[in-house]
Amino acid sequence: MSRAAQALAEEIGAVNDILCAVALLQWDNRTMMPAGGAQTRGNQIATLKGIARERILSDATRRATDDLLAETEGRADTDLDRRAALTVQAAIDHHRRLDAALLRRQAELGPVAGAAWATARETSDFAVFLPFLDESVALARESAAAIGHDGHPYSAMVALYEPGETAASIRRFFAKLRAGILPILDEARGRERDDVVHRRFPAEAQRALCRDLAELTGYDFGRGRLDTAVHPFEISFTRNDVRITTRYREEFLPGALFGALHEAGHGLYEQNIADAFTRTVFATDLILLYAVGGTSFGAHESQSRLWENHVGRSLAFWQKNMGRLRAHVPGRLDDVSPERFTCAVNHVEPGFIRVEADELTYDLHIMLRTEIEAALLDGSLAPRDVPSAWNEAVRRDLGLEVPDDRWGCLQDVHWSSGYFGSFPTYTVGNAMAAQLMEALKARDAGLDASLAEGDYDRLRAHLTDAVCRHGRSRTRDELLRDATGEALSAEPYLRYLRAKFSGATA
């Protein structure tokens, strides 16, 4: 390693350490922290993020970056040293454009807005959250203006989470998907619902089941843990400590079960990043100031949705694992065959809650959020009008009347955390998961058989090779081109949805 590369590695290693501490402050905030802690937690996160930013903008980092850029001038685009230097340079440019005070206001707002959102959600009282949403939107608009964009401020936000995408590219991609999904939904909706998943499943049994299934995917509890959170998430402090959460509703088994498989999928991404990338720029998001190793939010979501849906909601999975499930909830599912259970967990029915939506309506939930947040960003929608805009979109797309905001615009944590622009990445992830799975099955004729045998190591090895191990050293579309021959495409996803939902289910 050259002296410049070494110097840069030291600076970025320290930035990663700081951001891992931020991640722990955030994890704790959402799982363990007593209520009183909210008062000072915002200061702590704001101070550490500010220090991380200062370190990125420091003379030492800039000098090492410039030296490494000069040293690697003319080298191939795939040269890791050059890529590291270019990534840091982009982060320096980004943070120079964003005022430190803005960052501090955002970081300080997070915990108080989060607490207000939690109260508002619990009591279904949008008014409690509105002042914080006002402030969050104002901050996002200021940020977009400072970062710069192609004419639509939402583009600046989207690119934070999904580099390479814009407001327009997302709109086009969503239009194509929507046109493909609506006819399948027309065909699939209205089939009879099977209430087996609504029997009563004790939370303790669900917890043990979730742990068991996460382990089955290969999620390593020696480098992780599973906790309870109001809004489930995955978070990592290097690949050596990657934590997941889920939540338990005793009258709805799929929530926790597929939530755990989903978060385990995220966890597998982080746990399987190359060890050599620990504490490097390829395991640190220097723009968003996160200690994350996934290359984009969409790429991350591709892994969670792949394990949740392509594995967890397949007939093959339950043909193999129905006994395991039954053992966790004795007497409750003894009369239910794998076929019936698979059918029940793939039942298509428009509902209010995104994280419990079936695969056909899920993206419609995303599209309405994207529409609303794009309008908030360009100012065509005022925060106070979010409930009516939301309820109108739910009526139009899902044909449902939202009973109250708890079941509507207060269900997601994102806006309280200042995450405007991240919703589209969920649908990007769905599409990427299908694209990867189609290509892996085409390449490895034995993959389906191994999954039917309950061997998940083979799939995990493929995904580690194609996606996880690269960390942030390759872009989403570079990964996709290598693995599937093309950049992100809607077609494999629509083929998958058609195959699964236009004929017999599962």
Nearest distance in Å: CB 247, its own copies: 18
- Could you say whether residue 212 binds its own copies (CB under 8 A)? no
Residue 18 vs 170, nearer CB to its own copies: 18
Interaction between residue 151 and its own copies (CB under 8 A)? no
Backbone angles phi, psi at 144, to 5 degrees: -60, -40
Stretch 36-65 residues interacting with its own copies (CB under 8 A)? 36-41, 43-44, 46-48, 51
Q: Rule CB under 8 A: say whether 105 interacts with its own copies.
A: no
Cα dist from 260 to 40, 142, 256, whole Å: 31, 36, 6
Smallest gap from Cβ 271 to its own copies, in A, equals 9
Binding mask 265-294 for its own copies (x = CB under 8 A): -------------xx---------------
Give the CA distances from residue 406 to residues 124, 126, 368, 487, in Å, rounded to whole numbers and listed in that order: 5, 8, 16, 38
Contact with its own copies (CB under 8 A) among 2, 6, 28, 145: 28
Alpha helices in 189-286 (DSSP H): 203-217, 253-271
456-462: long-range contacts, CB 8 A cutoff, minimum separation 24: 456/216, 456/217, 456/218, 456/311, 457/218, 459/311, 460/217, 460/218, 460/268, 460/272
Is residue 228 part of the contact set for its own copies (CB under 8 A)? no
Q: Which letter, b or e, does each residue of 267-304 get, where b requires 16 or more Cβ atoms within 10 Å of its Cβ?
A: bbbbbbbbeebbbbbbbbbbbbbbbbbbbbbbbbbbbb
**Residue ranges in 338-397 that form contacts with its own copies under rule CB under 8 A:** none
* Nearest distance in Å: CB 132, its own copies: 20
Active site residue: 11, 234, 263, 371, which one? 263
Q: Closest CB to its own copies among 293 and 408?
A: 293
Q: What are the φ/ψ torsions at residue 500 (nearest 5 degrees)? A: -80, -35
Which of 46, 322 has the CB closer to its own copies?
A: 46
Closer CB to its own copies, residue 38 or residue 452? 38
Work out whether 18 is an interface residue with its own copies (CB under 8 A).
yes
Give 14 or 86: the residue with its C-beta nearer to its own copies: 14
Q: By CB under 8 A, tell whether 452 contacts its own copies.
A: no
Terminal Cα distance for the chain, rounded: 52
CA distance 68 to 64: 6
Specify the residue, 48 or 316, whose C-beta has the smaller distance to its own copies. Answer: 48
Q: What's the rounded Cα separation, in Å, for the pair 104 and 45? A: 9
Q: Minimum CB separation from its own copies for residue 47, in Å?
A: 4
DSSP 290: B
Of the residues 106, 166, 238, 425, which one makes contact with its own copies according to CB under 8 A: 238
d(CA 164, CA 479): 14
Active site residue 263: yes
Binding site for its own copies (CB under 8 A): 13-14, 17-18, 20-22, 24-25, 28, 32-41, 43-44, 46-48, 51, 220-225, 237-238, 240-241, 243, 278-279
What residues act catalytically? 263
